[in-house]
Structure 1
Amino acid sequence: MRGSHIKSAAPPPLNALRTFEAFARHGSMTRAAAELCVTHGAVSRQIAALQASLGVVLVSGPRHALVLTEAGVQLAERLTPAFSAIIDAVQTTRQGEAREIEISCLGTFALKWLIPRLPGFLEAHPEVRVRLSESYQSVDYRRDRFDGAIRIIEPDELHPRAEATRFMPQYQGPVGAPNLMATLPTLSALSEAPRLRSATFRRAWSAWAELMGLNLPAATVEREFAHNHSMVEAAVSGMGVAIAPWAFVAPDVIAGRLAAPFGFVERPSWFAFLRPEGRRDTAVDAFRDWLVAEGERSPPPPVHSFDKS
């Protein structure tokens, strides 16, 4: 009919959507309240108002253990990238301010590989600031709001709503203090040495042995550390032998703090940069491209052939 028009429903208040998104991402009203600098009660009221506005139940369960309903999950999956895009747009349009990107990274990789190279990126891109946060968790961009992440990716590993760019292969091998490794001339001797491992990848020894076609006996002594950087320092101190990624130990091997007489073997996994799917950002593009270039320039590990006896 001429002159008529269809009236669309008014959108719910933006503040209620933002509050719900924070709660969905954290899974906690307390943590959402801390992020938004409001009270727990304010978060609860905003979510209740949003549900009333939409006429849909978004959360269910007792007040101290609320969980998202299916409708809540679907809404949250769309809101998180939307709010990230708004933040990106605001930061991009601010005049005279550098664009800050937050990169989630494996701690040992950051210390041993990324940070020593990072000045080169910052010099080439003075308009970009890089904030690093340490994490070993799987990346899930339905929940996570950082701009990119560096992880070791296994062939069967999935990261929801992420675009993955492989930038460096993954090699592993046994390393230890030079004076200790000098006493371990064969794989048989190596298998009897104290074994160091990280809680972040407990099966490093068995995975390496499988790639080498070895049948390792049970360890006589095992020492576990919470993170790879602690394990590497324990190896430097002579506490035992660690199976470590080349990227984590290359500076120490090159400097002579660690020895790797048995070389390294390539694993069916790789270092990858993960960014939110479908989100365009020139600063993140530049960081991704720089990672790829640095990965190509990274020195390869020593590879030796030896008797398996």
Structure 2
Amino acid sequence: MKDIRGYAMIAGAALLWGVSATAAKFLFNRDVSTLLVVQTRVTFSALLMAAGFRLFRPSLLKVNPRELWRLAVLGIVGVAGANITYYLVIRETTVATAILIQYTSPLLVLAYGVLSGDEGFSAVKLIAALLSLAGCALAVGVFDTAAIALTPLALVAGIGSIVTFAFLTVYTRKVVARMPSWTAVLYALVFASLMWAVINPPWVIARDSHPPELWVALVGFAIISVLVPHSLFAAGLRSVVPSRAIITSTLEPVIAIGSAAIVLGELLTPLQILGAVTVLAAIIILNLRPEEERRSVSEPSQRSCHDIHTPPG
């Protein structure tokens, strides 16, 4: 039951990330700057979480000072790093290219898990990872030469996108084994917000005149694109190993193109539909051996209970 709940949380995160991709496109089509969207979604999420915890769960604000460096690494390298590189690829090329590049990261996560000894290797995982990559490629239109483009800067940023997204997945699991997942997400967002504030200070944003309805839209976007999905993803990683989690999250581009078709009226090609089916098939194949998952997560779960109550060395 615990692993089913974990998969449901990760699928829920992918659902919201996919829907938020369409919402972001809606904002971009109205000439809202990419930097403003990316920065405010992290900052507003951190502020909302902090306010909510202060009012209803003050205990979640408490963190061992010796854990702050881990949270800083998670927020700056994982959250902010994945955002910076992903949106840099979008700026240099296309959304399709960015999605395709980022979702090669399941193979990197799988390789790391096997080589580090954190996970066992299985043909099921490898087949699922390859199928999910193929499905993503079809879903974003890999055969459309107009949609897929690559510049030297995009190539460098793309490699960074793969590494940081893989790091975000692997390192989040390690961090949430040491503290409540809500606490980990909050402080990761705080450190990511601080990084964005250095790059684009608040007084620079204040110089531009934005209508009140835009700020309301940005707060709503922060909730559906960061606050809720990142919390679900972190909580899901307590019971799902990183390689399975990141493969499951490849539902995101499938949901993104589906929601774009419904909301924005974008037509789906037969190859995109085939890609969506392929991703779903990968996730089904991934769950053909659930007993391996339980063995993989039993030890981290025990360490989690120990580390939460024992100060780290």
Shared topology, TM-score over 0.5?
no
Structure having the higher Rg: 1
Give the strand-richer structure, 1 or 2.
1
Give the TM bin, normalised by the shorter chain: under 0.3
Q: TM-score, normalised by structure 1?
A: 0.21
Give the helix-richer structure, 1 or 2.
2
Higher relative contact order (CA 8 A, sep 6+): 2
Q: TM-score, normalised by structure 2?
A: 0.21
